[in-house]
Structure 1
Amino acid sequence: MHFSCVVVILLVSSLSNALPSPHEDTAPTYTLPAAASTDVAEASKQLDQLAKFAQQQARSLLKQEHNGEKPGKGKCTLENVAIRREWGSLSPKERIAYTDAVRCFQKKQAKTPASLVPGARSRYDDWIGTHINQTVFIHYSGTFLTWHRFFTWHYEQALRNECGYTGYQPYWNWALTAVTGLEESPLLDGSDTSMGSNGEFVPGQGTVIFGGPGLPEILLPSGTGGGCVTSGPFKDMTVNLGPLALGLANGSTIGLGDGLGYNPRCLKRDLTTWINRNFANASSVARVIIKPKDIYDFQMTMQGYPGSGDLGIHGGGHYSMGGDPARDAFVSPGDPLFYLHHAMIDRVWWTWQLLDNEKRTGAEGISGTGTFLDTPPSANTTLDTVIDLGFAAGPPQTVRDLLSTTAGPFCYIYL
């Protein structure tokens, strides 16, 4: 299928496991797609082009700041920038180092006072409790993207500072698992070098309903698991908090009060490749990056326009995991796969930002209010809006400091 393209002259160098040398200055010609292909193979090529463009733009910005050509603090450089990579590109040793750090984190003592989150038993639970308490303010709101970027970065830093992890936050590329199938991917094949397995098969599961207050329902098939994770590094993991709004495979939703009480249970998954292939494939991802020209359309396309019948790539990833707590919007960080999913959400945003970086990392890169679909009505999010992760991590930051991955507290890019 032919799509019109615009030609962009880039200063592009090959990127594999590290940024190119800052002394390299080659200038091959690349084309950027003007429309996302509906053919997943072609869309995958488009995503490769977009990734190379974003990587080079990030490199160029760091170089300009370093040379004084652009204003900035200059703390993030080509030499010290962290590089986040896709799970399958990590070596077996690197994958195990990551999951070992997560398990270490799950054994550390919680910092959140019991008066706020009575069920918190670990540092890992600090993150879940924070997400539960702020869910209605950080989805379909003006801070959806910045809040989750900050949240995921602090999680990465905690693994490094508190559990000796020396790598960086990997990401889950849904476009790849849409091709291989979830259970056949290195991410979820249940091996010691994976993020665990599917849940034990539960026969006779029915329909899952995706929706929200006042929103049309989307009917989804259940997956191929449903029970406790059976193998891999998280087969013995305990989920302590929730549920609060857990969608079950019989069309119902369950919750226990505010979800903050102690409710230990196994980690359950219901891997659903059908959802991955229908809502988070290469074409879906390319569409989110290419189609939107403003941040409102970008955020809504990513999360799914209410009433459109589309989960968006955000809901597509969460519901591809299935189970408990992944189908619970409040408690979803209870599945360690959450952080790889949101690193990919951040990677898509990062790529989109770098198509027009100056505009998309400033005031025009923000849209929305402080509440879910502005319910109840609340003030607009601005550059001065403060994001506070509570007892999970700190100190708080303003939105203006979280719009670039190489400014403010951040210093990372994606391959």
Structure 2
Amino acid sequence: MSAEDRISYTNAVQCLQSKPARTPSELAPGAKSHFDDWIVAHINQTFFVHYTATFLSWHRWYIWEYEQALRNECGYTGYQPYWDWTKTAETGLETSPIFDGSATSLGGNGEHEPETGDVVISVGDNPVYLAPGTGGGCVKSGPFSNYTVNLGPLSLSLLNGSSIGSSLTPTKGDDYLWNPRCLKRDLSDSVNKRHANLTGVLNVLRKPQNVYDFQMTLQAYPGSGEIGVHGGGHYSIGGDPGRDFFVSPGDPAFYLHHGMVDRTWWMWQMQNPAERTKGSKALMGTGTFLNDPPSANVTYEDEMNLGFVTDKTIKVKDVMSTTGGPFCYVYA
């Protein structure tokens, strides 16, 4: 993207952040902006769109509707960008045009906080230890230096293995209260280089022959000692809400990260388009997190929703192809 296009994009994101929320205040008193509506939708559906059959399809639609809002409500004329993790794994995050802290970036690293200890991810029997990044504090540079995070934290991984909340606890009413604070980041080159690199992406693209294995490799099998390229992107950003399982869309970088997730799925699909967009191996799994509690297999006819982001619903079959249903895009 040109510098002008990057500024147009962040201006549109700031426009969403300035518009009033559509989520009723009695349901989510902490949702203060239309940007927050996307966060509420993600909070509400976290257990139904991670480690489920709809992980990829729901997030594809979610990102696309976000792009439509930037265009239709905030005058953006470009496209939703993605963050190629493989490039920053080589160059470093803080020299990337995405995170260099300039006026054309998404803001830089958080201010350095001299804390020690690892971030510990404990899903399954084999915890993953991630070295902290080089920031940790408030983002003071770039277009989101004055942005206020309103919701959460709900399941925020901290250093020394501690956390706020639990990723395995269902949401409840007080999870939607207003908690204004700065955007924090803890950019970690070590996480990017180890967990979201070119080898990781190639493994995701080349080994799995069905979407279940593809999704589980992308997200990492619990207990495997890995976090996958999906987790690698999230934890490379770090901070608050970047490390929050529920509230991570509160960092504008989330949408570029999941743009790359969608691109990776698209690349996998394009190796066998007919089979991987509508065949028997293109949609597999149930509708609950790791099938807990046990639930029915998701079908192409099942409908998805985005809460108060849009009053539309969509069938899974209509989001399987980037050139079908409401979509008309491909990736470079």
Q: Provide, for residues 3-47 of structure 1, a one-character-per-residue CA deviation record: whole Å limited to 9, x for no partner.
A: xxxxxxxxxxxxxxxxxxxxxxxxxxxxxxxxxxxxxxxxxxxxx
> Residue 65 of structure 2 aligns with which residue?
154
Answering whether residue 160 of structure 2 is matched by residue 250 of structure 1, we say: yes
Answering whether residue 217 of structure 2 is matched by residue 301 of structure 1, we say: yes
Contact 1:192 1:232 in 2 (8 A): yes
2:24 to 101, 113, 130: 113
Tell me how far 1:206 sits from its aligned partner. Answer: 1.5
Tell me how far 1:363 sits from its aligned partner. Answer: 4.2
Q: Provide, for residues 103-143 of structure 1, a one-character-per-residue CA deviation record: whole Å limited to 9, x for no partner.
A: 01100010011122111000000000010010011000010
Question: Aligned pairs, how many?
Answer: 325
> Residue 106 of structure 2 aligns with which residue?
195
Answering whether residue 291 of structure 2 is matched by residue 410 of structure 1, we say: no
Contact 2:115 2:159 in 1 (8 A): no
SS at match of 1:223: coil
Read off the aligned partner of 2:86 and give its amino acid letter.
A
Alpha carbons of 1:216 and 1:394: their partners in 2 closer, same or farther (altered >3 Å)?
A: farther
Q: State the identity as a percent.
A: 59
Q: Provide, for residues 236-294 of structure 1, a one-character-per-residue CA deviation record: whole Å limited to 9, x for no partner.
A: 11000001000011211113965311000000000001000001111111111111111
Alpha carbons of 1:272 and 1:361: their partners in 2 closer, same or farther (altered >3 Å)?
A: same
Q: Distance in 1 between matches of 2:300 and 2:13?
A: 32
Q: How does 1:46-61 map to 2 (within 5 A)?
A: none
> Residue 371 of structure 1 aligns with which residue?
288
Read off the aligned partner of 1:277 and give its amino acid letter.
K
Read off the aligned partner of 1:322 and give its amino acid letter.
G
Answering whether residue 230 of structure 2 is matched by residue 230 of structure 1, we say: no
> Residue 262 of structure 2 aligns with which residue?
346
> Residue 178 of structure 2 aligns with which residue?
262
> Residue 332 of structure 1 aligns with which residue?
248
Q: Distance in 2 between matches of 1:182 and 1:96?
A: 19
Q: Distance in 2 between matches of 1:191 and 1:393?
A: 33
Answering whether residue 42 of structure 2 is matched by residue 131 of structure 1, we say: yes
Q: Distance in 1 between matches of 2:137 and 2:77?
A: 33
> Residue 316 of structure 1 aligns with which residue?
232
Contact 1:238 1:267 in 2 (8 A): yes
> Residue 20 of structure 1 aligns with which residue?
none
> Residue 163 of structure 1 aligns with which residue?
74
Q: Provide, for residues 194-241 of structure 1, a one-character-per-residue CA deviation record: whole Å limited to 9, x for no partner.
A: 1110000000331101133x5532111110000000100111110000
Q: Provide, for residues 68-108 of structure 1, a one-character-per-residue CA deviation record: whole Å limited to 9, x for no partner.
A: xxxxxxxxxxxxxxxxxxxxxx0000000000000011000
Alpha carbons of 1:100 and 1:304: their partners in 2 closer, same or farther (altered >3 Å)?
A: same
Read off the aligned partner of 1:370 and give its amino acid letter.
G
Read off the aligned partner of 2:327 and give its amino acid letter.
F
Read off the aligned partner of 2:140 and give its amino acid letter.
T
Q: Distance in 1 between matches of 2:161 and 2:151?
A: 22
SS at match of 2:111: strand
Contact 1:363 1:382 in 2 (8 A): no
> Residue 140 of structure 1 aligns with which residue?
51
* More moved, 281-290 vs 336-345: 281-290
Runs of 5+ unmatched residues, structure 2? 166-170
* More moved, 329-338 vs 244-253: 244-253
Q: Distance in 2 between matches of 1:225 and 1:315?
A: 19
Larger CA Rg, structure 1 vs 2: 1
Q: Distance in 2 between matches of 1:185 and 1:110?
A: 32
Pairwise CA RMSD: 1.1
Answering whether residue 134 of structure 2 is matched by residue 218 of structure 1, we say: no
Alpha carbons of 1:215 and 1:109: their partners in 2 closer, same or farther (altered >3 Å)?
A: farther
SS at match of 1:184: coil
Q: Distance in 2 between matches of 1:271 and 1:123?
A: 27
Contact 1:363 1:383 in 2 (8 A): no
Q: Distance in 2 between matches of 1:215 and 1:326?
A: 24
Q: Distance in 1 between matches of 2:153 and 2:330?
A: 34
> Residue 298 of structure 2 aligns with which residue?
381
TM-score (normalizing by structure 1): 0.77
> Residue 281 of structure 1 aligns with which residue?
197
TM-score (normalizing by structure 2): 0.96
Q: Distance in 2 between matches of 1:157 and 1:309?
A: 37
Alpha carbons of 1:215 and 1:117: their partners in 2 closer, same or farther (altered >3 Å)?
A: farther
Q: Structure 1 stretches (4+) deviating beyond 2 angstroms?
A: 255-259
> Residue 70 of structure 1 aligns with which residue?
none
> Residue 91 of structure 2 aligns with which residue?
180
SS at match of 2:191: helix
Q: Distance in 2 between matches of 1:154 and 1:394?
A: 11
Q: Distance in 2 between matches of 1:402 and 1:389?
A: 14
Contact 2:154 2:175 in 1 (8 A): yes
Contact 1:209 1:217 in 2 (8 A): yes
